[in-house]
Structure 1
Amino acid sequence: MNACETEVAGERVLLLPQKALYWPRERMLMVADIHFGKAASFRALGVPVPRGTTNENLSVLDGLLARLDIARIVFLGDFLHAKTAQAQATVQAMLRWRERHAELELLLVRGNHDWHAGDPSELLHVTLLDEPYEQGPYALCHHPHLESKKFVIAGHVHPVYHLRTARESLRLPCFVIGARRAILPSFGAFTGGHALIPHATDQVYVVADELIFPIEIR
């Protein structure tokens, strides 16, 4: 599969075009800001937005589980978007997916949306954690500016990068890897993004459809 292999805090990891990070030694997939039920939350407010984003997110997870040796998924915050995200159709889709992957360990490092949305259904069998969740050299968090002696891997920001030519500009999701922390792009469909200005020493990997590639910071 297309991926960028790199070393982060002494560990080999894969940055995936599906906007997730895979840690082979621990058979761990890290996913930030999936925001299940965001579209349903908007529709509950009367905003006409596309349907099917929950199933789209679950389908992408299915594809990764089929291609990689994954024993656990760590969600780096914002698993649910809001209380209205716990609509019956959303929860039922997630429960059907969970039944197909009953052996999979799921962990959620709570983010700001999770505190407002409430915990996911107990039937999903998700282990709930407060940040930082420390594993090996990493502190797995939602908020990237949390201080830790370990290397921070986080989400929250939904980073995107502007690729510009003389006439055109593209706004693309990206991974930003610095000296002490890495920020993952938002995994979820219909979640938007925030343009970051990376430091000169940061490594930036841009996602364009099924491709991921490093870019040179100027």
Structure 2
Amino acid sequence: MRNDVTLEWGGTTLTLLPERAVWWAAESTLFIADPHFGKAAAFRFAGIPVPETSHEDDLERLTHILTHTSARRLVILGDFLHAKTGRNESMFAALRTWRESHAALEIVLVEGNHDRRSGTLPEDLRITCVKGPWPLGPFHCRHEPQEDAEAVVLAGHIHPSYGLSDRLGTSVRAPCFHFSARVVLLPAFGSFTGTHGIRPAATDRVFLVGTDAVIEVSGAVK
């Protein structure tokens, strides 16, 4: 059974989706971070044989949540592309086909560190590129997480994950949403990305992401 999590944050209501996205219903806006399109191609360019399927899977997942939410705006919190060596016609053809299927969708990319090195996006993708912090309602959208006295920050970059273990030594680690006092950190949207373990404060809120569920584990944070 699917399990989304809805909570109040920054004076508004946000919903955390197991597809590793945040839904802001009041503004019909979907947030994702770190899709890293072209990463598989960049690995192959470096001589590492990995299959070219991750961008197709990720675009299918993105289509699913856009359909599920009927979002009118998509905000990408950095690292849309992975590297200049990952730019190829196969990936851009898939992106163009996907974009044509969502022609009315407004897309805003908050520039990330990988975007700055990957080159300009094709104009026909119709993605507006901005530099962070980019203000949107009560939020400041940026790639690298950094507290802001003026607004709650939505960010990516870290690819956060969190691990739990029991007394028998059994452990599990999963991507997570990490809510601290002034920063909301999103998990990496891209399926072909690593993760970085976080060390949350006792007052932080942590939500593990599963295949079809988001589960709060804040009570287990030490």
The answer to whether the superposition gives a TM-score over 0.5 is yes
Q: Which deviates the most, 161-170 or 101-110?
A: 161-170
Structure 2 partner of 1:130: 131
Structure 1 partner of 2:182: 180
**Hey, which bits of structure 1, 4+ residues long, moved more than 3 A?**
none
Take 1:213 and 1:50, find their aligned partners in 2: how far apart are those partners?
31
Write out aligned runs for 1:37-52 (5 A).
37-52=38-53
- Name the CA shift for 1:148/1:126 in 2 (closer, same or farther; >3 Å): farther
- Is 1:65 aligned with 2:66? yes
AA partner of residue 194 (structure 2):
G
- Is 1:194 aligned with 2:196? yes
SS at match of 2:66: helix
CA drift of 1:86 comes to: 1.5
AA partner of residue 31 (structure 1):
I
Take 1:15 and 1:189, find their aligned partners in 2: how far apart are those partners?
17
Write out aligned runs for 1:158-169 (5 A).
158-165=159-166, 166-169=168-171
AA partner of residue 213 (structure 2):
L
Contact 1:139 1:150 in 2 (8 A): yes
Take 2:170 and 2:51, find their aligned partners in 1: how far apart are those partners?
27
Structure 2 partner of 1:145: 146
AA partner of residue 209 (structure 1):
T
Write out aligned runs for 1:20-59 (5 A).
20-59=21-60
CA drift of 1:119 comes to: 2.3
Structure 1 partner of 2:105: 104
Structure 1 partner of 2:117: 116
Contact 1:139 1:148 in 2 (8 A): no
Take 2:86 and 2:147, find their aligned partners in 1: how far apart are those partners?
27
SS at match of 1:78: coil
SS at match of 1:29: strand
Take 1:36 and 1:98, find their aligned partners in 2: how far apart are those partners?
14
TM-score scaled by length of structure 2: 0.95
Take 1:98 and 1:43, find their aligned partners in 2: how far apart are those partners?
25
Take 1:105 and 1:86, find their aligned partners in 2: how far apart are those partners?
23
Take 1:75 and 1:158, find their aligned partners in 2: how far apart are those partners?
14
Structure 2: 5+ residue stretches without partners: none
Take 2:19 and 2:178, find their aligned partners in 1: how far apart are those partners?
15
What is the number of equivalent residue pairs in this alignment? Answer: 218
Structure 2 partner of 1:214: 216
Contact 1:131 1:140 in 2 (8 A): yes
Contact 1:34 1:187 in 2 (8 A): yes
Give aligned-pair identity as a percent: 41
AA partner of residue 200 (structure 1):
A
CA drift of 1:148 comes to: 4.5
Structure 1 partner of 2:207: 205
Q: Which deviates the most, 112-121 or 163-172?
A: 163-172
Take 1:42 and 1:85, find their aligned partners in 2: how far apart are those partners?
8
Take 2:66 and 2:3, find their aligned partners in 1: how far apart are those partners?
15
AA partner of residue 97 (structure 2):
R
Structure 1: 5+ residue stretches without partners: none
Root-mean-square deviation (CA), in Å? 1.0
CA deviation map 1:186-217 (0-9, x unaligned):
00011010000101110000012111110112
